[in-house]
Structure 1
Amino acid sequence: MRKVWIEAALNGPWSRALQPGIPDTIEAIVAEGIACAEAGAAIIHTHAYDGGGPQTFDWQVYARIIEGIRAKIDVPVYPSIPGLDARGNVADPKARFAHIERLAERGLLEFAVVDPGSVNFTLTRPRRRRSRRRPISIRRPISGTGSTSPDATASTPPSRSTSRASSAPAQRWRARAA
């Protein structure tokens, strides 16, 4: 039988304004983490809050959460890391991982976030969908004439040289199209 790990993400970074039901005090986060671990979660992920305000990256708040959960149940608990700063820029790496380093120094982490820096953040609005869509006409050469003609069905591939058209990928494509 294959083993499965279930991760419980207790809350997110947006506070109660956008997530009305999240635990946002140390006591509530600890209680929720214990309940999730007792229900079968193998890993707990949390953002730190102290008293219902905005999230914090204070290592001492995270330490109280981690120690509170582990006092009742043995489960890895790992913190979040800051994404964008107030100006919309990615925070300085030393500042982003300062709380991780402090928690690791105290032996409170067995598991942590890895951010190789390949995540792209954007603050743009999504594009509006066009109300009208233009029809697409597929044109392909008519064999031997050099001219093109609309092809409504496109059920066969355009003609290719004999060596490529008889290749295994081309044969598979034709078999699927037929």
Structure 2
Amino acid sequence: MTEQKRPIKHSLVWLKKDTAIFLFLMCIYAALFAPQVAEPSKFGYNLMDYQGNQQYRYENNDHQNTKTGMYGYRDVYGIFRHVNYIADRHGFRVVVDTNEPGTAPAHPANAVFNSAPIHVPPVRAPTHFAPAENIWYQGFGNEFGRRIGSESSVGIEKRSRRQRRKNRKGRRLVPKQPTRKHQQERFI
């Protein structure tokens, strides 16, 4: 008699497949939701323009994902804002030092504002003024010269003799040679 192989029970096959699928899904879950280890990093910049205004920022990040840093600016008039901050598992906290006009010391929402504003005196309006000097320019294309200044509505007839002798392109016209009649009238 030949020995017959016993067939594997149907329930054991499904049990092996279910176990394999379950283990596969657990591996994916562990890979996706494993705690990530933060890499320490830092960056910063300090810029100053040609007028003397300054902007800066520095930030550090440690292996516990705690960010600390500062940023701010200072202008040529002495107005500044300097901000120190920390962001960690306890939240975001900030300390602001400034002397900007219109600020006041305060403590809203885990933020500390240390303010010593500069007093800016009000600017008075001028009591008198001088009219602008009249400036001539020649105009463009086929236009005549326009007048700029306090008397901008003065017409062409008020232009000087020299301005009337110029043509549209701004070149001086060649004066006509005086005739004997004009010379005689001038010296009589």
What TM-score do you get using the length of structure 1 for normalisation?
0.20
Q: Rg larger in 1 or in 2?
A: 2
Q: Which has the higher helix share?
A: 1
Greater relative contact order structure (CA < 8 Å, 6+ sep): 1
Q: Which has the higher strand share?
A: 2
